[in-house]
Structure 1
């Protein structure tokens, strides 16, 4: 039976088949990690028993499982994405005793989103800038989420113009908010260079998709003059992998907006409670990063501006750009894009994958562990919040971390909880995925001795007993996104299950 991983489905097989493959892989990953139980047996395909006890599931492939088949009576039959969604819902009801009609709809929406993106990509030339290509490359997205590409179920025309995966670029809408209604904190002066506000007003850039979503609630503010629409900016921005975070290359600045759409686990608003602690959190990380011995960098969330009558809905956050942080001559790339692959990825054509991997670990692991060990800072070092700067030969030379919203500080969280979060983000979500992407290209490479060596080195350098203990721990924490969404838990309420630890000797 031929492979049906997203990368293996030929373009001539049609967009529907390719969209099914892209959507099936992360859903299977969740099912196999969280609720299925392996049935002992040799080789491929691998067989699992599902929670109801009535079905067996078998799949092919490694980190991107594919070609699912189901048996209830000894006869195997293939299931497509739509049938797999139905099967998952039935099994989760059996496993939890709960129903959830929303999540199956999100799974279907995620698959249909991929189909729309593939259709759009067939008509668009990818951008020349390798950094932008990396940020806008993610057709699979989170490899362990059941609906990583869902866009809120709205019509394609409503979201496609703003989709990074379709290589979108667009101008911001410029609003002016009356000065007595402005709320801001931190250094947001860079926003004032985006346009000119009339006397008595301050400039407030807005994401056009968000403005479409919340526009009716702003009718009174426009009518009484608290808010004025000025038109659009005279330059384009483009969305990063985070969708609601845009890069303005001419200003070398990132701007992050609220977006009233559920993407993966959360409605993506800039929540008031996060904004109110932003400066304290970001200042702690920035100060810690500046004092680190290792060459990692922090893209600072400088501050935010909004209107008091639409505090969350119209908030815009200002984030450092790249030029002052990336080492000279290096090119930043999104770590998640190295896992998915994109035109120009340094993983293609590596002559010495072991040396590349060692350089990668030297860039990413030391700063993340130093921030924790010496400063009590837990950066959210997962694939979408980490950029890797590479030199002209494609060798990793620096890691850049971002997003103060996801940072945890000790002792606001316990040291145990902070370490668990760091190990999930840095090892399970990040290093495991990069290691497997490398091993797919170089099957004879064992990536884990180099990881053990780096953690041993950092344990000694930082006097970090948790790093030493990790090398003998039987398990690592794996986040349960499928069960989290099915049970309706808060998206920030991470729940973990134990996964085999590949760092263990």
Structure 2
């Protein structure tokens, strides 16, 4: 077995999503050469190999096709965007390079790490490439790898939480007794310290604590006793794909805990923002009620509830911890939950790759994932952010999709949050463009014979639902020429707010 060239592998992992963005957002297919695209900024020709994960970029020159190194590809991207938009940006090329260096560090770390035995955790920790249409999906804020690798899910990390003591008169929390008990239970589950009299436990992510502990306000709180360092838990937690959310499985406790992380990951600095926390209970309650109605009508889908949060009044966003339902009690007996994003990127044991019935597998997947999203919108006007990292799919012993589980109240939109047209656009982007297109592409790559029937089957599932429910948007979707695709490269280049989604139309595979 030949040794793997980790440097070349890092280039390939980093180039694929960058090329996906560049070709989607700033180029047009050119019929003059196979795999060639005409760049809109300069008019130059760029050629790639592959479709879903483009590789081996080459630029047409007077001397022929010139292979581009990753450094040259980043420079080409910056030059093209500068010409195409008329805007300069010195930060994004650095961020893209940082993402590539992060991938290289992850590959080295993975080579010497022991993968988790739990298939679910393995799926959460499998995203070495990450978002397939983001220019810098693995950027870590430019920090040295040594500062973040101990907490990186892609490096198969596990680590203890740090427990703080927060003086009772400084504690802010919401979610009632159940959320209160859930936060306190983390110390017991992880064999952590107990809070002294007059203090409440405040679990902290060690990386976030490293980032903010010296800041004014927090430093003074440690000095005057409003905040105490109680020490780490003895047992580790598992970081999930979102990096700042950890899984805490145990005999008595089965929870997720989500923290702030003052680092830009893809489009946003990943804080638990005050405005999101203040609307959390209203949003989560509405979604829980919607899923309860779904269960009465048949779909096996479940919602992992964001129960509540605890934080410090003087560092409301920086030190917040949110507790979320774990898997126990939600996953159908005899099934194994896996992260949807991992099915698209691939990992050992991926049921998508090993199925003997790809067409049946796909139809079952559509029933489990599509129906709950459309039902909640039709009945309640709720938009789930059903992208690949917010959906778990549980598989039976034969590897067939049996259930979908949805998470993250922060991304949910309720009636009135957006105009209905914008809400539907968001639903279609997350569900169809971000999610189903990637799963269909992966299935077709592993089972080429199934490819012609995948989108007709998806069209049938959407059409069937349109007949069962009063949802005129579905009929319009099935007749639309284009689907909304988020422009992550242009968003980052123009320094738009991370939540300011902008879309361009893609050819609609659902159209008859």
Query: Shorter chain as normaliser: what TM range?
Result: over 0.9
2:415 aligned with 1:415: no
Counterpart in the other structure of 2:386 = 381
SS in 2 for 1:57: strand
TM-superposed deviation, 1:194? 2.7
Counterpart in the other structure of 1:94 = 83
May I ask how many residue pairs the two structures share in their alignment?
A: 494
2:275 aligned with 1:269: no
Aligned pairs for 1:359-398 within 5 A: 359-398=364-403
SS in 2 for 1:319: strand
2:173 aligned with 1:181: no
Measure, in 2, the Cα distance between the counterparts of 1:194 and 1:72. Answer: 60
TM-superposed deviation, 1:74? 5.8
Query: Which of 457, 470, 482 lines up with 1:450 in the alignment?
Result: 457
Counterpart in the other structure of 2:104 = 115
SS in 2 for 1:471: helix
Counterpart in the other structure of 2:247 = 247
Contact 1:134 1:342 survives alignment (8 Å) = yes
Greater CA drift, 193-202 or 303-312 = 193-202
Is there any run of 5+ residues in structure 1 with no aligned partner, and where?
Answer: 1-9
Contact 1:188 1:302 survives alignment (8 Å) = no
Measure, in 1, the Cα distance between the counterparts of 2:355 and 2:185. Answer: 43
Aligned pairs for 1:426-441 within 5 A: 426-441=431-446
Is there any run of 5+ residues in structure 2 with no aligned partner, and where?
Answer: 188-193
Counterpart in the other structure of 1:7 = none
Contact 1:473 1:501 survives alignment (8 Å) = yes
Query: Which of 122, 131, 137 lines up with 1:148 in the alignment?
Result: 137
Counterpart in the other structure of 2:319 = 314
Measure, in 2, the Cα distance between the counterparts of 1:193 and 1:337. Answer: 30
Instruction: Describe the superposition over 1:136-166 as per-residue Cα deviations: whole angstroms up to 9, x where unpaired.
Output: 0001100000000001100111000000001
Instruction: Describe the superposition over 1:288-313 as per-residue Cα deviations: whole angstroms up to 9, x where unpaired.
Output: 11111222111010111000011000
Query: Which of 456, 474, 482 lines up with 2:481 in the alignment?
Result: 474
Measure, in 1, the Cα distance between the counterparts of 2:326 and 2:470. Answer: 33
Measure, in 2, the Cα distance between the counterparts of 1:262 and 1:11. Answer: 37
Counterpart in the other structure of 1:4 = none
Counterpart in the other structure of 1:208 = 206
Aligned pairs for 1:124-135 within 5 A: 124-135=113-124
Counterpart in the other structure of 2:196 = 198
Measure, in 1, the Cα distance between the counterparts of 2:195 and 2:418. Answer: 42
Measure, in 1, the Cα distance between the counterparts of 2:111 and 2:50. Answer: 27
TM-superposed deviation, 1:12? 2.7
Greater CA drift, 201-210 or 93-102 = 93-102
Counterpart in the other structure of 1:5 = none
TM-superposed deviation, 1:234? 2.6
Contact 1:188 1:318 survives alignment (8 Å) = no
TM-superposed deviation, 1:52? 2.8
Contact 1:174 1:229 survives alignment (8 Å) = yes
Aligned pairs for 1:43-82 within 5 A: 44=34, 46-73=35-62, 75-82=64-71
Counterpart in the other structure of 2:351 = 346
SS in 1 for 2:263: strand
Contact 2:163 2:202 survives alignment (8 Å) = yes
Instruction: Describe the superposition over 1:333-366 as per-residue Cα deviations: whole angstroms up to 9, x where unpaired.
Output: 0000000110111022211100000100010000
Counterpart in the other structure of 1:37 = 28
Query: Which of 254, 257, 273 lines up with 2:259 in the alignment?
Result: 257
SS in 1 for 2:353: coil
Measure, in 1, the Cα distance between the counterparts of 2:184 and 2:41. Answer: 58
TM-superposed deviation, 1:235? 1.7
Measure, in 2, the Cα distance between the counterparts of 1:402 and 1:463. Answer: 26
- Go from structure 1 to structure 2 and tell me whether the alpha carbon gap of 1:178 and 1:361 turns closer, same or farther (over 3 Å shift): same
Instruction: Describe the superposition over 1:211-238 as per-residue Cα deviations: whole angstroms up to 9, x where unpaired.
Output: 0000102221011000000001132111
Q: What TM-score comes out, normalization by structure 2 length?
A: 0.95
Measure, in 2, the Cα distance between the counterparts of 1:276 and 1:31. Answer: 37
Measure, in 2, the Cα distance between the counterparts of 1:219 and 1:469. Answer: 55
Contact 1:11 1:18 survives alignment (8 Å) = no
Query: Which of 145, 158, 163 lines up with 2:147 in the alignment?
Result: 158
Aligned pairs for 1:263-302 within 5 A: 263-292=265-294, 293=297, 294-302=299-307
Contact 2:386 2:406 survives alignment (8 Å) = yes
Contact 2:42 2:84 survives alignment (8 Å) = no
Measure, in 2, the Cα distance between the counterparts of 1:80 and 1:379. Answer: 39
Instruction: Describe the superposition over 1:188-228 as per-residue Cα deviations: whole angstroms up to 9, x where unpaired.
Output: 32111233211100000000000000010222101100000
Counterpart in the other structure of 2:191 = none
- Go from structure 1 to structure 2 and tell me whether the alpha carbon gap of 1:420 and 1:11 turns closer, same or farther (over 3 Å shift): farther
